[in-house]
Structure 1
């Protein structure tokens, strides 16, 4: 069970504004990525009670564009904790405020590490899955972690040449 001060999940809500537009007239992917990082950080800091740094954003998938004027929800939740790291699943949904029809637009996993005042990694509270959905998300995070390790090995071998 978690302490009352530990927040496992959060939702940030934004209005897609004209300043977020790309050349195609939709919200720029960079704006969405910024929102994802903000939601991930808020979730990680809420869980750990510490300043956190982004160490990985992976498998970001854009399913559909976000239109200017839509209300955007960024849902972030802890799906795995290591010794100093937290894997956070982030889902982005957008809805037309008039029809209220909500669509999933983006999904990714973000990894944050909690750090002390000197910037050194520090231990984070452990999260244990409790529901069937949590168990599935926890297993999903572990599979992605193994894939990242494999990719890192390939990249390190290439960069060493």
Structure 2
């Protein structure tokens, strides 16, 4: 196994024409279909980096920024942003292109945490990430920050640690009615 790889070595992209079968009742491309494509490209990128089967451990926030129309080309781009011992964060960017006007739209970006597995389903070590530019350092550092925030968020809201009193004031400005007993 190689000790380190650059993100450029395992970067991949996928382009697909959006068909009526991919649309929702509103006539736009179904978000679930796009999420499926994103998961597939994250898997391919992670597997290429690790040279092993990978599974999706988590998906960071997905915001749908612009709708995708039937007949547009959708391009998904994936690259490794972070590597741990057995896991990696794959950044996925989705863009659509109107093939008659050439207009490009950034539709969404997300971060998939993928874990490398052996034939028995056990986690296995992966190559590290060789950072070669400031953009790579920024992406790696941002992934560490997201990981730390996720851990803090998860632990703060566990039943045993949650303090209702800390949030009552903030709830006064929300569309909620409290009738605590």
Q: TM-score, normalised by structure 2?
A: 0.82
Is 1:96 aligned with 2:103?
no
Pairwise CA distance, 1:160: 9.3
Which consecutive residues of structure 1, in runs of 5 or more, have no partner in the other structure? none
Larger radius of gyration: 2
Among candidates 52, 55, 61, match of residue 54 of structure 2: 52
Is 1:12 aligned with 2:14?
yes
Query: Who is 1:82 aligned against?
Result: 84
1:115-134 counterparts in 2 under 5 A? 115-134=117-136
Among candidates 21, 27, 44, match of residue 25 of structure 1: 27
Q: Per the alignment, do residues 132 and 159 of structure 1 end up closer, same or farther by CA in structure 2, a change over 3 Å counting?
A: same
Q: Following the alignment from structure 2 to structure 1, what is the Cα–Cα distance between the partners of residues 9 and 47? A: 9
| Deviation beyond 6 Å, 4+ runs, structure 1 | none
Structure 1 window deviating more from structure 2 (49-58 vs 96-105): it is 96-105
Q: Following the alignment from structure 2 to structure 1, what is the Cα–Cα distance between the partners of residues 156 and 16? A: 38
Is 1:158 aligned with 2:159?
yes
Q: How many residues align?
A: 158
Q: TM-score, normalised by structure 1?
A: 0.92
Structure 1 window deviating more from structure 2 (45-54 vs 93-102): it is 93-102
Please provide the CA RMSD for this pair: 1.9
Among candidates 30, 54, 63, match of residue 61 of structure 1: 63
Query: Who is 2:72 aligned against?
Result: 70
Which consecutive residues of structure 2, in runs of 5 or more, have no partner in the other structure? 163-181
